[in-house]
């Protein structure tokens, strides 16, 4: 679960990370009032969305009005820039072409910066350890920088039995070129970030940039925080911060039903058992030239009712032209549970698109018989490659059929226009 920048900073502040003073606003008038309350000769107005790259982003439909982070030197400019952002769609490298609508801005007191650093913490899946990451250069595209200069990245895998050690923190500070009081400040920030990461079950904390001001102080000028969804039951106060407006179609309801669902831009609806198989299914669809409409995996201990909801969620997506169900039964996961959920969902919402199914593992043959006896029009596949190929082909045929129907309707209108002599509205 992601939170907005201002929420991330509020949480970091609770753990002792030094921050610029700021206030959130939902209107241009509120932004001006916030700037007045902060005082000072200059401010930063920041669009609040769940995505990075805001500084280089652009507002959809207004290419001349670029950038979701603006530095301004007067109260009039605060109001003007906030008004330009609020209600508009900001498109960045991380939002995709659809962008995100800006409903709030964060107004901060501006600071003169001498140098920018990067500090982050995440779970490294290769080592299965929380890992501290730092760079002597911040405020840039970290991914691109590390690709070109991988040796510039400072990484410390933290022993879960020991925690972040003072020795490791001081080594990171030295690697960033910090000495004296600035090194001590950096060490305190590292311990604060680690404390927050562990206590709140975060999966990612980024401070980019971690700035050194003209006064020699370290400040977290920007922050990104993501939490582990599986641990939110321990943090109801964190879960309450969820930005429901930022979730795409279906994601909020899926979360409430305990499903891992992500809306994508394609036209092939997907249901799989387990995140790994779900990712493999998306890769196979791409390999055969198709595009998935979603990522959706059901947990191993899933019950029929939850499968029913998952299948209904896919059926109700207006963008899909084919559905691919790819399930491997193993342990407590049974293929017939998936089949029964599909049958229940289809009684309420009959499938309007081709249905491709691949079952393997526990009760796979029984599940196939259940679907056959139900009367559902199902095309079965023997393996993932065959299933993906059939799904892509079915989606292609469905799209051609839709285009043909559209053209036939246009021709019918044109024929009526010729017969009546009336003007055709297109």
Active-site positions read: 118, 206
CA distances for 7 relative to 18, 142, 210, 237, 239, angstroms: 14, 22, 17, 12, 12
CA distance 186 to 363: 56
CA-CA distance, 330 to 205, in Å (whole number)? 35
Task: Evaluate whether 297 touches 329 at the Cβ level (below 8 Å).
Answer: no
Residue 4's alpha-carbon distances to 1, 224, 226, in angstroms, are 10, 8, 10
Phi, psi (deg, nearest 5) at residue 271: -135, 125
Residues 6+ away with beta carbon under 8 Å from 101: 49, 87, 88, 89, 90, 245
Angle at 316 between CA 310 and CA 320, to 5 degrees: 100
Radius of gyration of the chain (CA): 26
- How many CB atoms are closer than 10 A to CB 128? 9
């Amino acid at each position: 679960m992601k939170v907005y920048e201002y929420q991330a900073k509020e949480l970091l502040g609770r753990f002792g990370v030094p921050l610029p003073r700021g206030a959130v606003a939902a209107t241009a008038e509120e932004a001006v009032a916030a700037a007045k309350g902060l005082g000072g000769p200059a401010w930063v107005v920041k669009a609040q969305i769940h995505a990075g790259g805001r500084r280089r982003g652009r507002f959809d439909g207004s290419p001349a009005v670029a950038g979701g982070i603006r530095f301004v030197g007067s109260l009039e400019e605060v109001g003007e820039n906030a008004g330009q952002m609020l209600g508009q769609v900001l498109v960045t490298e991380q939002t995709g072409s659809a962008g995100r609508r800006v409903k709030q801005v964060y107004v901060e007191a501006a600071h003169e910066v001498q140098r920018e650093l990067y500090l982050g913490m995440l779970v490294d899946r290769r080592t299965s350890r929380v890992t501290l990451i730092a760079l002597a250069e911040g405020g840039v595209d970290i991914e691109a920088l590390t690709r070109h200069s991988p040796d510039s990245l400072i990484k410390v895998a933290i022993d879960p039995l020991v925690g972040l050690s003072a020795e490791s923190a001081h080594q990171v500070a030295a690697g960033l070129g910090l000495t004296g009081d600035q090194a001590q400040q950096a060490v305190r920030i590292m311990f604060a970030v680690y404390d927050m990461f562990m206590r709140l079950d975060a999966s990612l904390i980024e401070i980019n940039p971690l700035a050194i001001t003209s006064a020699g102080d370290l400040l977290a000028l920007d922050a990104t925080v993501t939490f582990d969804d599986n641990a939110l039951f321990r943090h109801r106060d964190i879960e309450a911060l969820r930005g429901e407006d930022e979730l795409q179609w279906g994601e909020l309801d899926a979360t409430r039903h305990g499903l891992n669902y992500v809306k994508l831009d394609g036209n092939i609806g997907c249901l799989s058992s387990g995140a790994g198989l779900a990712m493999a299914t998306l890769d196979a669809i791409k390999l055969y030239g198709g595009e998935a409409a979603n990522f959706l995996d059901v947990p191993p201990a899933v019950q029929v009712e939850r499968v029913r909801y998952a299948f209904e969620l896919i059926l109700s997506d207006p963008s899909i032209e084919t559905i691919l169900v790819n399930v491997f039964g193993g342990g407590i996961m049974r293929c017939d549970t998936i089949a029964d959920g599909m049958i229940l969902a289809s009684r309420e919402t009959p499938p309007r698109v081709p249905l491709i199914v691949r079952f393997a593992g526990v009760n796979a043959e029984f599940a196939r018989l259940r679907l056959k006896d139900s009367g559902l029009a199902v095309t079965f596949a023997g393996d993932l490659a065959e299933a993906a190929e059939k799904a892509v082909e079915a989606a292609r045929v469905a799209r051609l059929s839709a285009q043909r129907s559209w053209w036939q309707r246009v021709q019918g209108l044109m024929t009526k226009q010729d017969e009546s002599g009336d003007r055709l509205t297109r």
